[in-house]
């Protein structure tokens, strides 16, 4: 789970349940949207950019990181990384994403939006 910089929105990876990322309003604790990341894909982890404009999602089944535009709640890009991404973290300024690849024993380093 990751929280937007303003604290108003939470993003939850639904691994093994719905191939989606749930968007929650933190004031009302209600789900406002479910963003599909692809049928059969397993979202394991999410990170929100410091400005809150993008959410990055580690997708274990496809060895990708999906990029979600928070203004439209749509997947705008899928970036190939190493084998088995199950986590990710952004640098404090949001310019670099670090993706540990569980089965590859590697870390992918990506320039982020």
Kindly state which CATH superfamily the domain 2-111 is placed in: YVTN repeat-like/Quinoprotein amine dehydrogenase (2.130.10.10)
Calculate mean pLDDT across residues 45-49: 96
Domain ranges of the chain: 2-111
Q: What is the 3-state secondary structure (H, E, C) of the chain?
A: CEECCCCCEEEEEECCCCCEEEEEECCCCEEEEEEECCCCCCEEEEEECCCCCEEEEEECCCCEEEEEECCCCEEEEEEECCCCECCCEECCCCCEEEEEECCCCEEEEEECC
Calculate mean pLDDT across residues 86-95: 94
Task: Give 48-81 pLDDT, tens digit per residue.
Answer: 999 999 999 999 889 999 999 999 999 999 999 9
Structure confidence at residue 41 (pLDDT): 82
């Amino acid at each position: 789970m990751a929280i937007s910089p303003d604290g108003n929105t939470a993003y939850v990876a639904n691994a093994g349940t719905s191939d989606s990322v749930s968007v929650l309003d933190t004031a009302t604790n209600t789900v406002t949207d479910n963003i599909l990341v692809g049928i059969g894909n397993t979202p394991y982890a999410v990170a929100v950019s410091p400005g809150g404009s993008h959410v990055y999602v580690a997708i274990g089944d496809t060895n990708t990181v999906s990029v979600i535009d928070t203004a439209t709640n749509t997947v705008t890009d899928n970036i190939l990384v190493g084998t088995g991404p199950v986590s990710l973290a952004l640098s404090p300024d949001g310019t670099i994403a670090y993706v540990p690849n569980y089965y590859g024993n590697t870390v992918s380093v990506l320039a982020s939006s």
